[in-house]
């Protein structure tokens, strides 16, 4: 408990707001079935019932309760983003560590491949790949995970390069430890802090990419509630003066802002940047 | 001196061409995965096997992959990207028109966003940790964090639906006059500008603030110069290199950021084209537009590299 309160004391006001936002959405996501008044696919009323009327946030383009869909959307969209980011970090970090530890030709080949792949804008790459392989949930996770593994590879490689020249790594090498040991026991523990800060930043990118993709029609399949797809579905309402599409979009924005406020503080501290001259 | 610069430019261009070559192979592989059932997708499930076979022959799907890639590459270098499956029009002609519209969007945005972004960045750095700085920083953090369509729909709800000042659908055509066109594209430009201003402002502020810790700034301060003079005369010249990088990288961002914004405002640009093509499985169009996007990306990165070398003589003698 004292550890938690020490962290809390360390946060400034904006970081505390950020933490609050993140906790709020996480709670919504975890307890979605108990919090939501209706299920995510149940049609409960007319099309686009007004905000704050019988239904708190009104109903969507086919009459489903918007509040319930927002709550379930928190669960689906956040889970998808977390798992995809985890995949990208696992793949990117393992390859980055391999490149840094083995160096030489392996490093050259991996780095050049990544150089080429990274020149295709992420949104374009994922549009093409997803339209080719479909948007089943597992495929989405895998594709987004692999696309974002590329920048993670670069960061992990750079971080591991710095650690790899340390004496203790040299000592382990001379002891005859294998590649896997070097990566797991020598490099990983020391690379964990910078990579953890990076995780928050990348999560935001992944989250926004997923939102854009599902907005463009290549996301989770209906009737699963997904914030980006909900914006797309309700978009026509805006011409009639309904604010329904703004609601899920605002949730996306709010959550990303919350995460950014939180990690801004973290990255700031980690970089040791002097801002108070 | 001149020769070094030319060498660097040539070297970057050669690297760029190699990267584009790799990208074209990758994109072809991706499109290849799409090609499998494209004929049955176009003709419908009930199509006769013979019709499907004829369609496949017409698209050259019976040739092995490397032959098709070779043909595509030879034609593409000559500016021929084939014909669209959806409407049988020349892909290059379609792209030419759309590319112009997208560039118009990006350049108009840059015209407003670059000066405002840099100015706000300098102001925030000048009055750092003051109320102005906090307001600017928080606002820009908000716009950076929001998805493009959030800002787009808010602007649309206010200016197009509520006030009715601007059109919600940006239907630009070549016959429009300058002002008419500007009004038609005002909302997408504003959305894009909000995001890019935020990025530029934050990077400008960060690069100036990190310079302020260096000894020569300390010296200038000890000489008794005013903060404004220190920033403009002493810090800014050294900050140009990172700022130029940020400006060009933001242009690269815009190239992709336009995809979602064009879809929201039904703007006839490249981004809307690739989304339509992906949804229709229009292979030649996907392949060509993806190439154009990647090329713009690579070229802008090279440009950023070169410009920052021009702005900072030290970078010219790295090796």
Pick A90 or A4 by higher pLDDT.
Answer: A90
Over residues A198-210, mean pLDDT: 85
Mean pLDDT, all residues of chain A = 80
Determine whether the interchain pair A257/B146 forms a contact, defined as Cβ–Cβ distance below 8 Å: yes
Give the separation between CA A65 and CA A45, rounded to whole angstroms: 8
Interface check A132 vs B, CB under 8 A: yes
Interface check A109 vs B, CB under 8 A: no
Six token digits for residue A15: 């970081």
Give the separation between CA B289 and CA B275, rounded to whole angstroms: 10
Give the separation between CA B299 and CA A246, rounded to whole angstroms: 36
Interface check B156 vs A, CB under 8 A: yes
Determine whether the interchain pair A241/B161 forms a contact, defined as Cβ–Cβ distance below 8 Å: yes
Interface check B153 vs A, CB under 8 A: yes
pLDDT interval class at A44 (50, 70, 90): low
Give the separation between CA B108 and CA B102, rounded to whole angstroms: 10
> Which residues 27-56 in chain B show a CB within 8 A of chain A?
27, 30-31, 33-34
Q: Phi and psi at residue B166, in whole multiples of 5°?
A: -125, 155
- For residue B277, give the nearest of B23, B66, B76, B38 by alpha carbon: B38
Instruction: Determine the pLDDT at residue A184.
Output: 85
Print burial letters for B252-274: b (CB count within 10 Å at least 16), e (below 16).
Answer: bbbbbbbbbbbbbbebbbbbbbb
CATH domain A13-270 topology: MetI-like fold (1.10.3720)
Determine whether the interchain pair A212/B260 forms a contact, defined as Cβ–Cβ distance below 8 Å: yes
> How far off is chain B from A102, nearest CA to CA, in Å?
24
Instruction: Determine the pLDDT at residue A91.
Output: 92
Q: Which of A131, A239, A273 sits opposite B161 (nearest CB)?
A: A239
pLDDT tens track, chain B, 319 positions: 556 777 777 877 888 888 888 888 877 777 777 665 666 666 666 667 777 777 766 666 666 777 777 777 777 777 777 777 667 677 777 888 888 888 888 888 888 888 898 888 888 887 877 888 888 888 888 888 888 888 888 888 888 777 777 777 777 776 767 777 777 778 888 888 888 888 888 888 888 787 777 888 888 888 888 877 887 788 777 777 777 877 887 887 777 778 888 888 888 888 888 888 887 777 788 888 888 888 888 888 888 777 777 776 666 665 4
- For residue B137, give the nearest of B204, B193, B191, B187 by alpha carbon: B204
Over residues A125-141, mean pLDDT: 81
Cβ-Cβ contacts under 8 Å, B141 against chain A: 257, 260-261, 264
Instruction: Determine the pLDDT at residue A83.
Output: 92
Query: Which of B149, B166, B285 best probes binding to A when mutated, by most A CB atoms within 10 angstroms?
Result: B149
> How far off is chain B from A175, nearest CA to CA, in Å?
36
Instruction: Determine the pLDDT at residue B298.
Output: 83
Instruction: Determine the pLDDT at residue A88.
Output: 92
HSE-up of B186 (CA within 13 Å, CB side)? 15
pLDDT interval class at A68 (50, 70, 90): confident
Interface check A131 vs B, CB under 8 A: yes
Over residues A77-81, mean pLDDT: 87
Interface check B222 vs A, CB under 8 A: no
Pick A152 or B186 by higher pLDDT.
Answer: A152
- Nearest residue on chain B to A275, alpha-carbon basis: B209
A270 pLDDT higher than 70? no
The percent of residues in chain A predicted with pLDDT above 70, rounded, is 86
Instruction: Determine the pLDDT at residue B60.
Output: 65
CB-based contact A121:B294 (threshold 8 Å): yes
- For residue A212, give the nearest of B115, B208, B260 by alpha carbon: B260
Instruction: Determine the pLDDT at residue A87.
Output: 93
Domains of chain B plus CATH, in order, are: 91-318 (1.10.3720.10)
Instruction: Determine the pLDDT at residue B156.
Output: 83
Interface check A84 vs B, CB under 8 A: no
CB-based contact B141:A257 (threshold 8 Å): yes
Interface check B264 vs A, CB under 8 A: yes
Let me know the angle formed at the C-alpha of B15 by B299 and B65, rounded to the nearest 5 degrees.
90
Interface check A275 vs B, CB under 8 A: yes
Give the separation between CA B312 and CA A40, rounded to whole angstroms: 56
Six token digits for residue B107: 């350049």
Give the separation between CA B27 and CA A48, rounded to whole angstroms: 41
Give the separation between CA B285 and CA B295, rounded to whole angstroms: 15
Cβ-Cβ contacts under 8 Å, A259 against chain B: 145
Pick B171 or A121 by higher pLDDT.
Answer: A121
Determine whether the interchain pair A261/B274 forms a contact, defined as Cβ–Cβ distance below 8 Å: no
CB-based contact A144:A175 (threshold 8 Å): no
HSE-up of A73 (CA within 13 Å, CB side)? 27
Let me know the angle formed at the C-alpha of B299 by B294 and B301, rounded to the nearest 5 degrees.
95
Q: For the packed helices B148-155 and B236-264, what is the interaxial angle rounded to 10 degrees? A: 70
Give the separation between CA B286 and CA B138, rounded to whole angstroms: 38
As for the ipTM of the complex, it is 0.78
> How far off is chain B from A16, nearest CA to CA, in Å?
14
pLDDT interval class at A167 (50, 70, 90): confident
- For residue B291, give the nearest of B20, B3, B15 by alpha carbon: B20
Cβ-Cβ contacts under 8 Å, A18 against chain B: none
Q: Which of A120, A228, A276 sits opposite B26 (nearest CB)?
A: A120
Name the residue with tokens 């301060």.
B221
SS (H, E, C) chain B: CHHHHHHHHHHHHHHHHHHHHHHHHHHHHHHHHHHCCHHHHHHCCCCCHHHHHHHHHHHCCCCCHHHHHHHHHHHHHCCCCCECCCCCCEHHHHHHHHHHHHHHHHHHHHHHHHHHHHHHHHHHHHCCCCHHHHHHHHHHHHHHHCCHHHHHHHHHHHHHHHCCCCCCCCCCCCCCCHHHHHHHCHHHHHHHHHHHHHHHHHHHHHHHHHHCCCHHHHHHHHCCCCHHHHHHHHHHHHHHHHHHHHHHHHHHHHHHHHHHHHHHCCCCCHHHHHHHHHHHCCHHHHHHHHHHHHHHHHHHHHHHHHHHHHHCHHHHHCC
Q: Where are the domains of chain A?
A: 13-270
- List pLDDT tens digits, range A54-65: 666 667 666 677
pLDDT interval class at A35 (50, 70, 90): confident
CB-based contact B120:B197 (threshold 8 Å): yes
Over residues A88-97, mean pLDDT: 90
Instruction: Determine the pLDDT at residue A1.
Output: 63
CB-based contact A215:A228 (threshold 8 Å): yes
Over residues A195-218, mean pLDDT: 84
Query: Which of A25, A111, A113, A127 best probes binding to B when mutated, by most B CB atoms within 10 angstroms?
Result: A127
> How far off is chain B from A208, nearest CA to CA, in Å?
6
Interface check A14 vs B, CB under 8 A: yes
């Amino acid at each position: 408990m004292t550890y938690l309160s020490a962290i809390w004391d360390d946060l400034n006001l904006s970081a505390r707001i950020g933490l609050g936002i993140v906790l709020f959405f996480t709670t919504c996501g975890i307890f979605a079935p108990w919090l939501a008044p209706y299920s995510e696919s149940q049609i409960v009323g007319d099309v686009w019932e007004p905000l704050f009327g019988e239904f708190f946030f009104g109903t969507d383009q086919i009459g489903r309760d918007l509040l319930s869909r927002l709550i379930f959307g928190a669960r689906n969209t956040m889970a998808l983003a977390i798992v995809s980011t985890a995949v990208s970090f696992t793949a990117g970090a393992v390859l980055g560590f391999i490149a840094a530890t083995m160096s030489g030709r392996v490093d050259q080949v991996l780095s050049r491949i990544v150089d080429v792949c990274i020149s295709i804008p992420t949104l374009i790459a994922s549009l093409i790949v997803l339209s080719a392989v479909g948007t089943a949930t597992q495929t989405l996770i895998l594709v987004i995970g692999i696309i974002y593994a590329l920048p993670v590879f670069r960061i992990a490689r750079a971080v591991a390069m710095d650690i790899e020249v340390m004496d203790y790594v040299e000592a382990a090498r001379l002891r005859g430890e294998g590649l896997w040991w070097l990566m797991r026991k020598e490099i990983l523990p020391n690379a964990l802090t910078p990579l953890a800060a990076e995780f928050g930043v990348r999560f935001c990118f992944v989250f926004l990419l997923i939102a854009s993709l599902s907005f463009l029609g290549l996301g989770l399949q209906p009737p699963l509630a997904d914030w980006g797809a909900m914006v797309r579905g309700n978009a026509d309402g805006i011409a009639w003066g309904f604010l329904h599409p703004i609601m899920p979009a605002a949730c996306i924005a709010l959550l990303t802002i919350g995460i950014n406020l939180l990690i801004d503080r973290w990255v700031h501290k980690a970089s040791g940047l002097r801002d108070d001259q | 001196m001149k020769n070094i610069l030319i060498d660097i430019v040539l070297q970057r261009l050669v690297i760029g061409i190699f990267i584009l070559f790799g990208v074209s192979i990758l994109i072809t592989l991706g499109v290849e995965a799409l090609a499998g059932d494209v004929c049955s997708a176009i003709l419908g499930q009930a199509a006769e096997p013979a019709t499907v076979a004829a369609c496949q022959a017409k698209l050259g799907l019976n040739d092995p992959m490397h032959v098709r890639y070779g043909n595509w590459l030879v034609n593409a270098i000559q500016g021929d990207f084939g014909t669209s499956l959806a409407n049988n029009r020349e892909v290059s002609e379609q792209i030419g028109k759309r590319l112009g519209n997208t560039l118009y969007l990006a350049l108009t945005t840059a015209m407003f966003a670059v000066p405002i972004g840099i100015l706000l960045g300098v102001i925030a750095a000048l009055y750092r940790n003051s109320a102005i700085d906090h307001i600017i920083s928080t606002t820009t953090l908000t716009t950076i964090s929001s998805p493009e369509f959030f800002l787009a729909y808010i602007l649309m709800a206010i200016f197009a639906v509520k006030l009715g000042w601007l059109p919600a659908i940006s239907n630009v055509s070549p016959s429009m006059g300058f002002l008419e066109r500007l009004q038609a594209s005002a909302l997408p430009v504003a959305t894009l500008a909000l995001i890019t201003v935020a990025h530029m402002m934050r990077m400008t502020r960060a690069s100036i603030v990190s310079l302020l810790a260096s000894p020569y700034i300390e010296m200038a301060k000890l000489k008794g110069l005013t903060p404004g003079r220190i920033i403009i005369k002493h810090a800014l010249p050294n900050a140009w290199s990172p700022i130029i990088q940020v400006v060009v990288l933001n242009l690269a961002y815009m190239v992709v950021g336009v995809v979602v914004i064009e879809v929201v405002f039904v703007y006839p640009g490249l981004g809307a084209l690739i989304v339509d093509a992906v949804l229709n499985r229009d292979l030649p169009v996907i392949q060509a537009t993806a190439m154009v996007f990647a090329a713009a990306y690579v070229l802008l990165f090279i440009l950023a590299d070169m410009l920052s070398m021009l702005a900072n003589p030290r970078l010219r003698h790295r090796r």
